[in-house]
Structure formats: structure tokens, C-alpha cells
């Protein structure tokens, strides 16, 4: 039989309560009403007891014991209407907590949808499509333009540029020639290549990425509910007061009267409502928080780990400088005009950035003649009568007379002479340094960068934004290892990234935060938090919201506990019947809820 959800349990309890009311007051059968409520109450109490035992075995001590005692005590002394009120409050709190902890169940869908399924296998000169799982090591596979590389292998014929951003997170395409290794999951560029398979599908890079996410999903970080921290001392106090009232009065009914007002509804309701309110506030700030528990982790976060490309930087290569050679006869503007004209018909990512830059500078482009693309090297073309070669330094200057620039660049030869270079940069987000400073002020003192980029570039970016702990040349496995190596006293840890390659890191960290404005779907769905606005300062904002939310949630819980203790002391005197005490719970709930709702608008954002 399918297990009922907490929402379904709430509706069932409400229906049973309505039936009991009809039986007693409309039909005149109070005994039947009492039997119905008693049986239902006993079943719920038994179910809660079984759940409590399971929780205790795993080391979790929650608010269930006090709830069970309140239900059992009221039923034992015949105060079945008080028991019913408690049951409604308990199931209502559980249903609300489920709403606050709405879970994303499609973390792997996008990643799995993009998994290569078919490989073009060459056998005896003919090409056949086989399922990727059936391709053996040593097979020759053709990867057509625009296709995803289906298995790990080594290029044996052809040259092309591959987009490996789904694996490394880096935006620059990588040139591949015969002898170079390629990873499954990379996207082929404009030319077909033939690879020799070196790993089975189950061992290939993309499948390892899927496996990493699955493994991390199966062992999520444990985190205790906010209210549970107060449950044990509150339960002990309530039991002591109830027993003292019985001993003092000699009347066992006093136990029920005390425990009714001690039922943990404020603890169950206040925290989830504050969480929902905090999540609502986050949403207004362009931040989607998928579970309420995430806010508690972020409020106490001590370590923030960041990917570089697309996270700390914009993730889009743009023209940095136009650098004419020292002995060149061409000015800055002339060089830009010639190079942009030559690249205007190229589909290369750097060419598109260069042409876009020229257009923004209002540069008039000239017609291109004799354009030829030399795969993996560059292009040759004729512009305004000039014979041009544009591309890698080894292509433009095979004799090695010129020094390579310390950044991504294309080099230019005009009429057989080196004429200069155009550099490209991935600009740091202007809000990056301010964000790091804000996080430190809020207690996130350990800031680190985990990137697949080279050390020189990554460390320079880290220096500019104020990060000193930098780990470079990392594939997804390396990022996970770095996160797992963080000492326990530096947890909770949040990881910020924007690519599919960050998905395993998101579910390894205590909180995964995806820059989802332009990021991959799998990354966004594997994350606990998704930043909808393309703004890194939202990271500091969600930590601020989390801290405000948890502060108010604690206040709401403590206010509820304080009122409960006052009412327990009043109940000791016997002037507060069990049913009246149960109704007083509504007052306590209302106060706690109204206070918790402050988390929705702590301040104007």
C-alpha cells in the first residue's frame, strides 16, 4: 500500500475530526466519536513512536517524544477532543515542513538526456551505428561536426576544435590533431574526426560524471532540523513539570493538562514557516532556494568554493588588446580592420568575438578573398590586397622568433611579415571582489577557487578578487577531492559554479549554488540554490537572507517555548483543563507564526 504523504495525512485527520464532531453533536453518539478519535490517535502515536525509534538509532533526537506523550496522556484520561486538536496541529506542521522542504527530483534528467547513445563505428571500410555501450576498446569511431564525443579515445585522423566546457568548465575550445586524446562529453567543432576508443562507455569521462552525481546523491550530508536542537531540553522540562504537578496534586489528569500545553507545535510550525518566508524573500531577490534546510546550512557556512569561468568571470571571451608589432607599418585601427575583415566569415568563437568588437568600434569591414581555414592552426585570406595569415603563433611564426603572449591570443602575419596580435580576456565580474569581502564579513572566512584552468591565469584572477586558496587544472573528480579534503571545522561548505562539470561538486558540498542565468540545466537542477540573475553578489545576498531567516526562526521557536513553559506552570494548578490548554496552543501557534513571518521582510531588499 502506498504511504500517505503528510499533506494527505492532514486532510485525513481533518476529515476524521469532522466525522467525530458529527457523531457526537449531530447524531448524539459521543461514545462512537471517542472510539474513533482514540483509535486514530493511537495509530498516529504508534506510527510516531516507530519513527522516533528509527531516528534515535541514527543519532537524531527530535520533537516526536513530546508529541507522543501529549497524545497518549490526553487519550488515557479521556480528553479525546484535546488529542484531536493536537493531531491536527502535528500533521499540519509536518505538511508545512514538507512544503518548506520541497525537493527537486530531476537532478540527473538533463545530464542523462545528453549522454551519448550512438557511435558511428568504422568496420572494414563501412560505417555502422552501434549503441555506445556495445562499442569495444580499439574500435574506430567517426565523430561528425557538432556531435558529442561518445567515448574516450585518441584522434587517429582529422583535425578539429572541441568544446570541453561540459567537462572542464573552461570556455576556450581545444584544438585536437592526430595523437591527441579526447574525452566523451566534449562537443566536436566544424570538422569530422576519427578516434580510436580507449575506454568502454561505462569507464568513459561523461559516464564517470553521471556516476559521480549519483554517488553523491546517495550519500547527502546529514543536517539536523532547527527545532530538534531545542527538543531534548524542552521535553525534559515538560516531563519534569508534568510529573511534579501529578505528585503535588495526586491527580494523573494534571499530566495530560501540562503536556497538552507543552506539545511541540511551536517548534514544528515556527521553523518551517520562517524557512518558507526566507525562501520567498530569496525569490524576490532572483534566487531560488530548493529546500528550507539549505538556509540553515548557509547561515552557518564557513567555506565558500568557487569555479572560475562563468562564475567569478563572465565566461565569455572578449577582445582584450590590439597589439601591432613594434616594426609594423600598421596602426592599431588598421590592424583591427584587416583582422576583423579576414575573420568575418570564420565560425571560430574567437573570430566571432573579434568581429563583434570591431562592429562596436564602428569599423568598416572589407571583402574577403581566398579564405581558407587550416584546422587547428588558423586561417589564410586576402583583404584589400594584403596576404594574411591569422591563428596560432606556430602557424604565423614557425621559426619561433616571436614570444608567446601570456594570454589567449591570435597572431597576425601580413605579406610574409609578423604584424602583431589580438589578445582575448575573460573579464572578471565587477562585483566579484565586493562579494568576497561581504562573505568574509558574514563569517565565510575560508574562500577558495576550484578550476580546470591553468595555474597562471587562475591565480591572477584569484588575486584580483581576494582569494588566496587556489586549486587549478581540476577535472570534476579533482574538485570533489578538494571539497572532501576540507576539514570538518570549516563546514558547512557551499560550492558555486555554472557548468555541467560542477554538478558532482554541488551534491558533494553541503550546499551547491548554480549561476543559472546562462548555466547548464543539469548544473542548476543538481544545485540546492539557483541564482537566476546573472549577478555574483547574489551569493552574499543569499547568505545574508539565510542568516536573517535562521535568526528569526530561532526567535520564533524560543518565544513559543517561553509561552509554553508559562502555560505549563499555570496548568500545574489545575485551572487549565486539557481541552482549553489545547486551544491555547492556537494562541501559541499564532504568536510563533506571526513572528516567523517576519523572515519574509526583514528589510527592504
Question: Does residue 103 register a pLDDT over 50?
Answer: no
Q: Give the per-residue SS3 of 163-214.
A: ECHHHHCCCCCEEECCCCEECCCCECCCCCEEEEECCCHHHCHHHHHHHHHH
Helices 265-284 and 537-571 cross at an angle (nearest 10°) of: 160
Is residue 65 within 8 A of residue 239, CB to CB? The reply is no
Task: State which of 90-94, 276-280, 483-487 shows the largest mean pLDDT.
Answer: 483-487
Rounded Cα distance, 534 and 595, in Å: 33
Question: Does residue 194 register a pLDDT over 90?
Answer: yes
pLDDT reported for residue 300: 92
Question: Does residue 276 register a pLDDT over 90?
Answer: no
Per residue in 527-536, pLDDT tens? 788 887 778 9
Rounded Cα distance, 84 and 72, in Å: 11
Per residue in 314-335, pLDDT tens? 877 789 899 999 888 899 999 9
Rounded Cα distance, 139 and 217, in Å: 33
Per residue in 114-142, pLDDT tens? 567 889 999 888 888 998 888 999 999 99
Find the length of the chain: 605
Rounded Cα distance, 84 and 36, in Å: 10
Alpha-carbon Rg for the chain in angstroms: 32
Q: Which helix (H) or strand (E) holds 580?
A: helix 578-596
Shortest CA distance to 270 belongs to which of 234, 244, 218? Answer: 234
Q: Provide DSSP, 436-488.
A: HHHHHHTT--EEEEE-SS-HHHHHHHHHHHT--EEE-S--HHHHHHHHHTS-G
The pLDDT confidence band at residue 227, using thresholds 50, 70 and 90, is low
Shortest CA distance to 502 belongs to which of 464, 535, 530? Answer: 530
**Chain CA centroid to CA 565, Å:** 40
Rounded Cα distance, 596 and 602, in Å: 11
pLDDT reported for residue 104: 32
Q: What is the pTM of this model?
A: 0.62
Q: Provide DSSP, 558-578.
A: HHHHHHHHHHHHHHTTT-S-H
pLDDT: is 108 or 213 the higher one?
A: 213
Phi, psi of 428 (to 5 degrees): -70, 140
Residue with cell 501529578: 246
Is residue 581 within 8 A of residue 545, CB to CB? The reply is no
Mean pLDDT of the chain: 79
Q: 88 Cβ partners below 8 Å, 6+ apart?
A: 10, 13, 14, 17
Amino acid at each position: 500500500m502506498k504511504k500517505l504523504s503528510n499533506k494527505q495525512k492532514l486532510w485525513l485527520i481533518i476529515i476524521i475530526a469532522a466525522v467525530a464532531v458529527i457523531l457526537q453533536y449531530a447524531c448524539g453518539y459521543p461514545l462512537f466519536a471517542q472510539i474513533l478519535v482514540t483509535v486514530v490517535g493511537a495509530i498516529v502515536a504508534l506510527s510516531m513512536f516507530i519513527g522516533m525509534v528509527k531516528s534515535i538509532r541514527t543519532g537524531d533526537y527530535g520533537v516526536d517524544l513530546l508529541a507522543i506523550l501529549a497524545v497518549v496522556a490526553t487519550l488515557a484520561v479521556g480528553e479525546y477532543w484535546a488529542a484531536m486538536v493536537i493531531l491536527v496541529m502535528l500533521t499540519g506542521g509536518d505538511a508545512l515542513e514538507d512544503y518548506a522542504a520541497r525537493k527537486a527530483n530531476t537532478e540527473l534528467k538533463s545530464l542523462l538526456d545528453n549522454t551519448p547513445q550512438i557511435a558511428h563505428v568504422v568496420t572494414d571500410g563501412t560505417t555502422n551505428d552501434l549503441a555506445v555501450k556495445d562499442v569495444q576498446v580499439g574500435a574506430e569511431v567517426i565523430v561528425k561536426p557538432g556531435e558529442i564525443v561518445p567515448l574516450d579515445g585518441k584522434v587517429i585522423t582529422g583535425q578539429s576544435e572541441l568544446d570541453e566546457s561540459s567537462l572542464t568548465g573552461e570556455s576556450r575550445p581545444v584544438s585536437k590533431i592526430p595523437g591527441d586524446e579526447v574525452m566523451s562529453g566534449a562537443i566536436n567543432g566544424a570538422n569530422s574526426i576519427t578516434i580510436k576508443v580507449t575506454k568502454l562507455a561505462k569507464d568513459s569521462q561523461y559516464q564517470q560524471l553521471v556516476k559521480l552525481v549519483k554517488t553523491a546523491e546517495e550519500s547527502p550530508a546529514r543536517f539536523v532540523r532547527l527545532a530538534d536542537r531545542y527538543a531534548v531540553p524542552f521535553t525534559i522540562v515538560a516531563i519534569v513539570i508534568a510529573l511534579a504537578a501529578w505528585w503535588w496534586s495526586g491527580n494523573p489528569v494534571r499530566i495530560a493538562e501540562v503536556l497538552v500545553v507543552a506539545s511541540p507545535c511551536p517548534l514544528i510550525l515556527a521553523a518551517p514557516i520562517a524557512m518558507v518566508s526566507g525562501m520567498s524573500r530569496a525569490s524576490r531577490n532572483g534566487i531560488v532556494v530548493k529546500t528550507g534546510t539549505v538556509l540553515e546550512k548557509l547561515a552557518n557556512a564557513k567555506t565558500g568554493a568557487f569555479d572560475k569561468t562563468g562564475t567569478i568571470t563572465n565566461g565569455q571571451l572578449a577582445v582584450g588588446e590590439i597589439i601591432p608589432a613594434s616594426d609594423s607599418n600598421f596602426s592599431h585601427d588598421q590592424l583591427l580592420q584587416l583582422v576583423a575583415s579576414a575573420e568575418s566569415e570564420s565560425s571560430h568563437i574567437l573570430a566571432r568575438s573579434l568581429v563583434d568588437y570591431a562592429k562596436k568600434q564602428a569599423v568598416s569591414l572589407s571583402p574577403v578573398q581566398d579564405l581558407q581555414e587550416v584546422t587547428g592552426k588558423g586561417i589564410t585570406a586576402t583583404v584589400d590586397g594584403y596576404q594574411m595569415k591569422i591563428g596560432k603563433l606556430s602557424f604565423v611564426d614557425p621559426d619561433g622568433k616571436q614570444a608567446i603572449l601570456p594570454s589567449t591570443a591570435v597572431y597576425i602575419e601580413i605579406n610574409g611579415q609578423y604584424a602583431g596580435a589580438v589578445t582575448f580576456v575573460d573579464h572578471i565580474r565587477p562585483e566579484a571582489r565586493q562579494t568576497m569581502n561581504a562573505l568574509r564579513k558574514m563569517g565565510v572566512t575560508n574562500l577558495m577557487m576550484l578550476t580546470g584552468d591553468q595555474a597562471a591565469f587562475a591565480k591572477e584572477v584569484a588575486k584580483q578578487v581576494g582569494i588566496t586558496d587556489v586549486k587549478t587544472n581540476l577535472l570534476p573528480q579533482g574538485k570533489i577531492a578538494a571539497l572532501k579534503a576540507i576539514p570538518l571545522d570549516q563546514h558547512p561548505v557551499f560550492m558555486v559554479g555554472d557548468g555541467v562539470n560542477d554538478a558532482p561538486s554541488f551534491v558533494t558540498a553541503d550546499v551547491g549554488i548554480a549561476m543559472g542565468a546562462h548555466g547548464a540545466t543539469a548544473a542548476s537542477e543538481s544545485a540546492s540554490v539557483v541564482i537566476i540573475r546573472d549577478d555574483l553578489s547574489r551569493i552574499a545576498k543569499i547568505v545574508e537572507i539565510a542568516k536573517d531567516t535562521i535568526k528569526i526562526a530561532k526567535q520564533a521557536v524560543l518565544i513559543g517555548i517561553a509561552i509554553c513553559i508559562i502555560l505549563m506552570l499555570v496548568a500545574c494548578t489545575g485551572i487549565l483543563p486539557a481541552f482549553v490548554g489545547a486551544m491555547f496552543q492556537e494562541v501559541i501557534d499564532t504568536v510563533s507564526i506571526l513572528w516567523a513571518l517576519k523572515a519574509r521582510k526583514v528589510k527592504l531588499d
